[in-house]
Amino acid sequence: MRTRTFTNPVLGGFHPDPSVCRVGADYFLACSSFEYFPGVPIFHSRDLVHWRQLGNVLDRPEQLRIPPDTPASRGVYAPTLRHHDGRFHLITTNVSDRGHLIVTADRAEGPWSDPVWIDLPGVDPDLAWDDDGSCWCAFSGTRVARIDPVAGKVLEGPYPAWTGNGLRQPEAPHLYHIGDWWYLLIAEGGTERGHCVSVARARSPRGPYEPGPANPILSHRGTDRPIQSTGHADLVQAADGTWWMVLLATRPRGHTPAFHVIGRETFLTPVRWVDGWPVAGPVLDSHPAPAAWHPFPALPPRDDFDAAALAPYWISPRGRPDGSWSLATRPGWLTLNATGPTLDRPGHTFVGRRQQHLDCRVSARLDPGTARSGLSVRVDEAHHYDLEVTGGEARVVARIGPLSQCVARHPVPPGPVTLGIDIRTTGVLPPSVTAATGDPLGVAATGPDTIAFSASGVLLAELDGRYLSTEVATGFTGRVIGMYVTAGTACFDWFDYEATG
């Protein structure tokens, strides 16, 4: 009998800082969302491999306040999701508001409560309960405090716990009470290529903590593995008794230093226990799968905007005011109303979804009317490529840092127009091959991918994708592809996202 395998990542695209818990035969996972609204996407699985988004934990303005001037890569950091005493608990940090917050729900799909705020420093908070019901919160630093999660009070501490093995930025602590030990799992080495996972243990959450003898227990630093930046991990025991780790990692591509373009993604790797210590990795493209195997039906690639509400994968920078969008104004269409004059500053109307595959194709049917609107591939306000329709023409505009330039124009007839974006990975080709094949970039294809733009089937431009990468833009997020309007009102009949390659 063939061994069933799964392919990493299990959640592609901008889904960093995963936290997982099991309830019976079901698994639930939450990720960071940073400046995007709604915040903290939450997923369900029956096998740790196939995940279906249930919704977003912070989906109301009273739960999630992100001021309009919030810089990119701020907002909501690093949730921890746990199930205790019959109820889901999620703790996270809104670095653009009051800090740590706790929300709870009877069901993972919500509704989730209004926040309870905890007055503790740092980021990356965690929750763990002792046998006597005491609740402990670990946070970056790495420190531990006993708290009342209902009242939002610090009852004891914080105590210094364990700051790792001397590498920079010890963070992402998770506490586990397993047998007679309290295990403290942390990330260290920075969230770039030096990222790694280490562990310590103690008899009490107060410490003292004893470092693991084989730290770091997971790291790809200094290797040529295609998966890099492995860290920020969370442990879970499967129903069959096996142990697994979810973690973030990246897939950099192109010539040195290589570029990761779709953000930090969620990966899965098995864990074994050696002499009372967890050991993981390396994280492979393909692993033997967990015993359970429960694929969900695939999402349809096209959203025809026929539902009463937007699907949970649609996100917007910093907020989505009620007056900026509607599914009712023109039934079967998504109507967008301009709230800002440019994508180069916060405050614009944008509804997008994460790019989840290295190779993909996006298309949409737009009725622009007299608006200025289109599709955008964005990392932040200073790094985005736009396919815009206005004044009877389609044009491609590239914003790279302080520079903004229209790189192509083409007339379009009045009425609806189909816009297309095709993203394909590119190999590292020598100049002689590039010249022979007529590479549209005019230079050797050393970037991670090429982004092509078309209107009504006419190719307008092909741009180097490296300028929409984290290595260029900096920050913690990945690409988001979506619909926008910066003047007037525009309507979108459908939006199609398809993995290719």
Residue pair 73/317 in contact (Cβ under 8 Å)? The answer is no
Which residue do the tokens 């410490």 mark?
A: 207
Provide the edge-to-edge strand list for the sheet that holds 19-23: 19-23, 26-30, 39-45, 52-58
Q: CA–CA separation, 423 vs 463, rounded Å?
A: 10
Residue 400: half-sphere exposure toward Cβ, Cα within 13 Å: 14
Query: What distance in Å separates the CA atoms of residue 19 and residue 247, rounded to the nearest whole number?
Result: 8
Please confirm, yes or no, whether 171 is among the known catalytic residues: yes
Contact assessment for residue 488 and residue 371, using Cβ atoms and an 8 Å cutoff:
yes
Here the tokens at position 255 are 């010539």
- Give percent helix, percent strand, percent coil of the chain, each to the nearest 5: 5, 50, 45
Strands lying side by side in the sheet with 480-487: 349-354, 480-487, 372-380, 383-390, 393-400, 403-411
For residues 358 and 356, give the distance between their C-alpha atoms in angstroms, rounded to a whole number.
7
User: Are 57 and 44 spatial neighbours (Cβ–Cβ below 8 Å)?
Assistant: no
> What are the backbone dihedrals phi and psi of residue 448, each rounded to the nearest 5 degrees, phi first?
-75, -30
Residue type at 410 in one-letter notation:
H
- Residue 183 near residue 199 (C-beta atoms within 8 A): yes
124 catalytic residue (yes or no): no
Which residue is catalytic, options 171, 188, 380, 386?
171
Give me the active site residues, please: 17, 171
